[in-house]
Amino acid sequence: MTDLQLLTYIVVGATFTLYIGIAIWARAGSTKEFYIAGGGVHPIANGMATAADWMSAASFISMAGLIAFMGYGGSVFLMGWTGGYVLLAMLLAPYLRKYGKFTVPEFIGDRFYSNAARLVAVVCLILASVTYVIGQMKGIGVAFSRFLEVDYEVGLAVGMGIVFFYAVWGGMKGITYTQIAQYCVLIFAYTIPAIFISLNLTGMPIPQIGLGWTMTGSETYLLDKLDLIVQDLGFSQYTTSARLSQTNMFMYTMSLMIGTAGLPHVIIRFFTVPKVSDARISAGWALVFIAILYTTAPSVAAMARLNLINTMEPAAGEYMVYDERPDWVTNWEKTGLLKFEDKDGDGRIRYSADAAVNEVIKVDNDIMVLANPEIAKLPNWVIALVAAGGLAAALSTAAGLLLAISSAISHDVLKGVFKPDITERQELTASRVSMAGAILVAGYLGFNPPDFAAGTVALAFGLAAASMFPALMMGIFSKRMNKEGAIAGMVAGLSVTLLYVFQHKGIMFVADTAFLGDLPANWFFGIEPNAFGAIGAVVNFAVAISVCAMTSPPPDHVQQLVETIRVPGSVQAPSD
């Protein structure tokens, strides 16, 4: 075993021991503790847990790489995945906290006075969360196999074991406190390499500012230099290359924003704080902790792209000599994430946008974050920390999603609809059983990733945007919205989005069944399938409002319920 591997085992082992220690301490003794951690979590602590809950393997490992190759077009992820918190903080979180129960479908069921609405919400929740959790399971397996060089399956099993331990034992209480620890691990792991890389290239230790700084020993700004060299290679300019079109970027950003606000595993985190005002402030803290990573990511992206090009072409026209390639290149070539082919046999590797002469056959997005410490020649403990950070990001999100799924099953389906008379103790047992079941199903899907696994995370946002967000928003902001409208809206939004994705990407992502073909020419106003959630949401609103206008208004007690979640009971006339 090499020094690096040993160190990685030690660091990852230490973090896992910490998570287990927290799990033993945070046992859930009641359903309130299991579902909402007892409801007494400090708003800053909840903000930190929400950040870890939210930032997944995709945010940690893949996002910077995506931006590195998309340039300005990658902004859809940065704005979309943060702007959703503004909507969450002002349109959903405080009112749902005021309502004060355990799950999102429970609110839908009460507000729309119908078990059918509750079950439709459970279906939407499970579709969005299960597709999302598959990505996390894969992330856990991949992180293990890359850094610890164990088999994907072994890695996945170890990860499942850890989640099983603290999620089944501690429920939301265990998950909350492990997420706080996981946030600390992942944010150190992300920012430390970024600081060193920024120092390296610009002499400025704060990566956010370094991105707008001049290159070390020159008067040229980093972004100007990057624009120049990517254009020399034949790529489009880094700072202006849009994602397809302005309309598409608009819709993509909007879909990610409302999808973020409508994801149940994020919403239920705000049920854990003591007061409504805490829910508001806690959303602010959550975004602070998220923004630390999300404003570092564009710097990592641009700097990693620059470093990559410099490695491939150290001086203009002088391409990398293959036999003299740096160690990190050799290491990542072994994983298959980096591939070269010396087409002209001159012993040098040429990187170009022109496919005919390009000899860099494959650069996986994930390399941009994973290989960063090696590219910047950082010590081995930093590399070990990145491994632990990637695992923390995947584990924390997986646990949050699993809780949303299992509480929907034990609280909404079992207790809410089929067996309302079970006792608290029986429900607690049921919630543990359904959590264990959810972990096993997620693990099974991780061992046998379905064909559509690649498209799943984007699909989860589309589904949440088109089904959950409009229903919740109308439930709060319209007293007139009735059960007929809400159910029809959710079903319509969900169907339209699924249909659009399937017709271009294939039914359940089996490419042969894509009856309209995955061709931009066939796209509705040139909107790519991943960006369609916003249109699905518009359909949801339109259908709900039309159906509602033709059917009778909700009963008085429901209108009363809306009043209580909008306005505090103790409100008095202002004294001035």
Partner 1 sequence: MTPAQQYWRANLRLVAGCLVVWFIVSFGFGIILVEPLNTIRLGGFKLGFWFAQQGSVYVFVALIFFYAWRMHVLDRKFHVDE
Q: Which residues bind partner 1 (CB under 8 A)?
A: 67, 72, 74-75, 78-79, 82-83, 85-87, 89-91, 94, 208, 211-214, 221-224, 239-240, 246, 249-250, 253-254, 275-277, 280-281, 283-284, 287-288, 291, 294-295, 298, 563, 566-568, 570-576
Tell me how far apart the alpha carbons of residues 259 and 494 are, in angstroms, rounded to a whole number.
Answer: 12
Q: Which is nearer to partner 1, 79 or 157 (CB)?
A: 79
* Shortest Å, Cβ 261 to partner 1: 12
Question: How do 320-321 and 338-340 pair as beta strands?
Answer: unpaired
User: In whole angstroms, how close is the CB of 42 to partner 1 at the nearest point?
Assistant: 15
State in angstroms the smallest separation of the CB of 69 from partner 1. 14
Minimum CB–partner distance for residue 346 and partner 1 (Å) = 36
Which one, 274 or 437, has the nearer CB to partner 1? 274
CA 425 to each of CA 27, 34, 102, 410, 415: distance values in angstroms, whole numbers, following the listed order: 14, 11, 16, 12, 12
Closest-CA residue to 83 (of 296, 301, 283, 297): 283
For partner 1, give the closer residue by CB, 355 or 571. Answer: 571
Closer Cβ to partner 1, 277 or 429, answer by number: 277
User: How far apart, in whole angstroms, are the C-alpha atoms of residue 547 and residue 265?
Assistant: 29
Query: Nearest distance from residue 80's CB to partner 1, in Å?
Result: 9
Residues 6+ apart with CB under 8 A from 442: 130, 133, 134, 136, 137, 160, 398, 401, 402
| 48-to-43, 177, 278, 294 alpha-carbon distances in Å | 9, 10, 14, 14
Tell me the closest approach of the beta carbon of residue 345 to partner 1, in angstroms: 40
Give the number of residues written for the chain. 576
Looking at beta carbons only, is 552 or 570 nearer to partner 1?
Answer: 570
Residues 6+ apart with CB under 8 A from 334: none
Our CA angle for 426, 427, 433, nearest 5°, is 90
Beta carbon of residue 275, minimum distance to partner 1 (angstroms, whole number):
5
Distance CA 450, CA 439 (A): 16
Beta carbon nearer to partner 1, 67 or 458 = 67
Map tokens 């940065």 to a residue.
Answer: 78
Which one, 67 or 142, has the nearer CB to partner 1?
Answer: 67
User: In terms of Cα–Cα distance, which of 460, 50, 80, 487 is closest to 258?
Assistant: 80
